[in-house]
């Protein structure tokens, strides 16, 4: 689905060639619910088996909130620390005081499952000659683990972490990293994210955008809006081939 009203003013989109496809990582390529889901299915999961969806939702919500609040406060710590702090809040809220469960959830989070269509779509884009990159809040170590465990080593031309700038999305300094690394203008980038706030911010920055709206959520009312919207990544090879 296209959003004709979402074009960045002053850009002749028909004259722009996409030189690079940049993906958000968590929630876009990697399933952030996979850690709690898998832990809940293991023997001895106990209370987690019944409550993992709530715990996973709380974990993700606090993880994002902490990135925004730390950015506003100028109190950056890397995403691995934020992920641990958010999990501790979620476990406390669920009444689960279990150091072994905590350790297991964190271990699984380092090796999140990619969404089902991800390997096939990335392979199709590579066959089209599209350059690929990741731009993520994740720490460098987390992203390396996630890419390797998903069997995606060698797929991306760059894996860019906010560790390089010490602030989280949606700070423009994060989006600046793409141009700094590849030497291209924002309008030559197709930015792909499942996070509504991220895609709106990327659009306002000047990227061409695809919002992967996996949750069928309403569009965020922010300072930008997505150019394209899809339920998952399957439409991406055809879309980018037509840009």
Q: How far apart, in whole angstroms, are the C-alpha atoms of residue 117 and residue 24? A: 15
Q: Which helix (H) or strand (E) segment is 73 a member of?
A: helix 47-73
Residue written as tokens 């922010």?
222
Residue 46 host element (H or E): none
Task: DSSP letter for 30, please.
Answer: B
DSSP annotation string for 138-188: S-HHHHHHHHHHTT-TTS-SEEEEGGGTT--TTSHHHHHHHHHHH---GGG
Give the end-to-end CA distance of the chain in Å, rounded to a whole number. 14
DSSP conformational letter for 113: P
| Burial readout 74-86 (b: 16 or more C-beta within 10 A, e: otherwise) | eebebbbebbbeb
How far is 222 from 236, CA to CA, in rounded Å?
24
Token digits for 40? Answer: 């809940």
Catalytic residue among 24, 113, 163, 198: 24
Among residues 238, 120, 139, the alpha carbon closest in space to that of 190 is found at: 238
Nearest to 98 by CA among 49, 63, 50, 46: 46
Asked about 24 being catalytic, the answer comes back as: yes
**Active-site positions?**
24
């Amino acid at each position: 689905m296209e959003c004709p009203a979402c074009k960045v003013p002053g850009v002749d989109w028909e004259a722009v060639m996409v030189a690079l496809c940049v993906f958000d990582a968590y929630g876009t390529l990697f399933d952030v619910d996979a850690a709690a889901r898998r832990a809940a299915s293991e023997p001895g999961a106990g209370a987690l088996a019944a409550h993992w969806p709530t715990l996973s939702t709380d974990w993700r919500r606090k993880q994002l909130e902490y990135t925004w609040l730390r950015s506003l406060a100028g109190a950056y710590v890397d995403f691995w620390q934020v992920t641990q702090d958010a999990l501790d809040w979620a476990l406390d809220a669920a009444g689960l005081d279990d150091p072994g469960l905590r350790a297991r959830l964190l271990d699984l989070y380092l090796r999140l499952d990619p969404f089902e269509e991800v390997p096939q779509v990335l392979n199709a884009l590579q066959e089209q000659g599209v350059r690929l990159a990741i731009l993520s809040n994740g720490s460098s170590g987390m992203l390396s683990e996630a890419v390797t465990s998903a069997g995606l080593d060698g797929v991306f031309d760059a894996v860019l972490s906010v560790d390089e700038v010490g602030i989280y999305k949606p700070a423009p300094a994060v989006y600046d990293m793409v141009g700094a690394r590849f030497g291209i203008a924002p309008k030559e980038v197709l930015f792909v994210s499942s996070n509504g706030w991220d895609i709106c911010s990327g659009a306002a920055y000047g990227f061409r955008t695809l919002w992967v709206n996996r949750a069928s959520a309403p569009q965020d009312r922010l300072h930008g809006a997505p150019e394209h919207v899809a339920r998952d990544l399957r439409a991406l090879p055809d879309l980018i081939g037509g840009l």
